[in-house]
Amino acid sequence: MKASFTILHMNHNYLRASGRPLKRHFLRAKLVSILITLLTVASLGVMAQNNFLPYSQFGFGELDNGYYNRTSGMAESGIAYRSNRFLINNNPASYSALTNQYFTMELSLRGTFIDYAGQPVTSAGNESGDITFRRLVMGIKAAKWWGTSIGLVPYSTQNYKFNVPYYVQGSNQAVANQYTTGHGSVNKAYWAHSFEFWHHLSLGVEAGYIFGDLNQKTILQNTTTGASDASTQNDIYLENLRMTYGIQLYGHVGKKLDYTLGGVYSQKTALLASPNQNVGTGTDSLTATGGGGLYNAEGSDYYMYLPNTYGGGFSVTYKHKYTWTGDYKYSDWNGVQRQNTYPGQDYNIISSERGSLGFEVSKKKNFYNNLVELSYFQTGIYYGKDYLQISGQQLHDMGVTVGFGVNSLKTPLAYNVILNYGIKGTTQNDLIRENYINLTFVINYGSVWFTKGRKFD
């Protein structure tokens, strides 16, 4: 029987003068370090979503395709994008573009509203919304040929609730209501390095530590009283290192046209999965951990595989003002399908792909023979096929983005706001379509460090 879903409720910003003494740089570094620590603790506590994501009960949950950075207004088209101020974590080869001795950090916040449509959706629970931290990163140009960045970003999210009748095998009469809820998140903490060669080639490598847990709890409830009779909770903790490699080849044609070609490759990764099961009864089933219950045991460790992922992109800039970008990414889930044991049932894992195009207009002004970016406008479109196939339907995701950014001339801060409207899924075969709106806010802090009092023009 089919389960019934019920929704329950600088590129191109140039630096100005900086002549602060060395002591002030160390004091600033100390204050930034304290701020980073506080923001990291806060981000770990709120990175998981509260929106209901009906398809997140399958596989690794709902994979996050967002980078929440300067390229988000261009539909995340940034494999070939380079910036001397902003951290472009779409490609680890991009960090060599940072200005020498330049330190920068970025914090991203996203608000999401989702409207659900489809036969399984109830009129009382067809909407949800939340606000979450999505990204905390920092980077520095450590040498003329070397840029590096560390950060914490989301990888996937799990959050769902639904009810189905529970039948005794061989009987057509429901003896209980089966209430299932799932929550969890998988995140990535990374350290990336970018190395420049001959001023036209940049190679990058990222070591990303994937970690997090997926949790599902099933409660059998009395159909008459609604009381909980029994519960089973299954938890899976995931962890391992995932390597990503990047390349960017860049140059110019004449004095007006700049170009970049980029590529990324993420290596097939075996995530160590450590399962735990807890069975409770009565009031035990109402607690988050089963209350000790009747049975609690750790299962044998096994592996869940992430696939080889390939991506390519281009970026063309005209007169340092107009930029066109395009990306394509492909993940070979078919290649790891037989090696995996995924949570959930009645679905397939298949290879996924995503294409996007973006456009940017940058407003700049000359100050003392230096070109300084004041603001920029972006827009983009995207279309993707998800790694989940349910009831014979591969989930599709499509949408448009609009972004606007302002770089302060009086402070070391820059701000970016991105609006994204998209559609995911379908109402065919009793599935659910999600119409979503994302509003992302990115704040950037940047400063030249370790100048020893020297002036920068």
- Confidence bin at 288 (pLDDT 50/70/90): very low
pLDDT at 173: 67
* Residue 374 main-chain phi, psi, to 5 deg: -100, -40
pLDDT at 287 over 50: no
More confident residue, 454 or 328: 328
Pairing mode, if any, of strands 146-167 and 228-253? unpaired
Of 56-60, 85-89, 215-219, the range with the highest mean pLDDT is 85-89
pLDDT at 80: 98
How much is the mean pLDDT over the chain?
Answer: 85
Tokens 């000790």 appear where?
Answer: 292
pLDDT at 19 over 50: no
pLDDT at 186: 95
- Confidence bin at 9 (pLDDT 50/70/90): very low
More confident residue, 367 or 427: 427
pLDDT at 13 over 50: no
pLDDT at 439 over 90: yes
- In whole angstroms, give the CA distance from residue 98 to residue 449: 13
Average pLDDT over residues 21-27: 49
pLDDT at 119: 86
- Confidence bin at 126 (pLDDT 50/70/90): confident
Q: What is the 3-class SS of the chain, one letter each residue?
A: CCCCECCCCCCCCCCCCCCCCHHHHHHHHHHHHHHHHHHHHHHHHHCCCCCCCHHHHCCCCEECCCCCCCCHHHCCCCCCCCCCCCCCCCCHHHHHHCCCCEEEEEEEEEEEEEEEECCCCCHHHCEEEEEEEEEEEEEEEEECCEEEEEEEEEEEEEEEEEEEEEECCCCCCEEEEEEEEEEEEEEEEEEEEEEEECCCEEEEEEEEEEEEEEEEEEEEECCCCCCEEEEEEEEEEEEEEEEEEEEEEEEEECCCEEEEEEEEEECCEEEEEEEEEEEEEHHHHHCCCHHHCCEEEECCCEEEEECCEEEEEEEEEECCCEEEEEEEEEECHHHCHHHCCCCCCCEEECCEEEEEEEEEEEEEEEECCEEEEEEEEEEEEEEEEEEEEECCEEEEEEEEEEEEEEECCCCCEEEEEEEEEEEEECCHHHCCEEEEEEEEEEEEEEEECCCCCCCCC
Average pLDDT over residues 318-326: 97
pLDDT at 42 over 90: no
Fill in the amino acid letter for 252: H
* Residue 139 main-chain phi, psi, to 5 deg: -155, 165
pLDDT at 22: 45
Lowest mean pLDDT across 55-59, 93-97, 393-397, 421-425? 55-59
Contact 193, 245 (CB under 8 A): no
- In whole angstroms, give the CA distance from residue 383 to residue 201: 30
pLDDT at 211: 96
Average pLDDT over residues 237-261: 96
pLDDT at 15: 40
The CB density around residue 166, as the number of other CB atoms within 10 Å, is 16
Lowest mean pLDDT across 43-57, 78-92, 355-369? 43-57
Cα angle vertex 48, ends 158, 165, to 5°?
30
- Confidence bin at 50 (pLDDT 50/70/90): low
Lowest mean pLDDT across 107-111, 140-144, 166-170, 307-311? 166-170
Average pLDDT over residues 172-201: 89
More confident residue, 51 or 407: 407
Specify which residues 156 forms β-bridges with: 63, 186
The CB density around residue 196, as the number of other CB atoms within 10 Å, is 22
pLDDT at 306 over 80: yes
pLDDT at 153: 95
Lowest mean pLDDT across 74-78, 204-208, 217-221, 245-249? 217-221
Residue 149 in tokens = 């960045």
Contact 181, 223 (CB under 8 A): no
What is the Cβ-side half-sphere exposure of residue 388, based on CA atoms within 13 angstroms? 25
pLDDT at 139 over 80: yes
pLDDT at 34: 53
Name residues whose C-beta falls within 8 Å of residue 341's C-beta, 6 or more positions apart in sequence: 302, 304
Average pLDDT over residues 416-429: 96
More confident residue, 119 or 269: 269
Average pLDDT over residues 65-77: 97
- In whole angstroms, give the CA distance from residue 183 to residue 179: 14
- Confidence bin at 423 (pLDDT 50/70/90): very high
pLDDT at 329: 98
Average pLDDT over residues 26-48: 52
Name residues whose C-beta falls within 8 Å of residue 26's C-beta, 6 or more positions apart in sequence: none
- Confidence bin at 120 (pLDDT 50/70/90): confident
pLDDT at 220: 83
Average pLDDT over residues 45-54: 66
Residue 374 in tokens = 């004041």
Question: What's the pLDDT tens digit per position in 208-228?
Answer: 999 999 998 888 877 777 677
Pairing mode, if any, of strands 228-253 and 257-266? antiparallel
Q: Which domains does the chain have, with CATH numbers?
A: 22-448 (2.40.160.60)
- Confidence bin at 286 (pLDDT 50/70/90): very low
- In whole angstroms, give the CA distance from residue 204 to residue 199: 14
The CB density around residue 27, as the number of other CB atoms within 10 Å, is 12
Buried b (16+ CB within 10 A) or exposed e, 219-238: bbbeeeeeebbbbbbbbbbb
pLDDT at 12 over 60: no
pLDDT at 397 over 90: yes
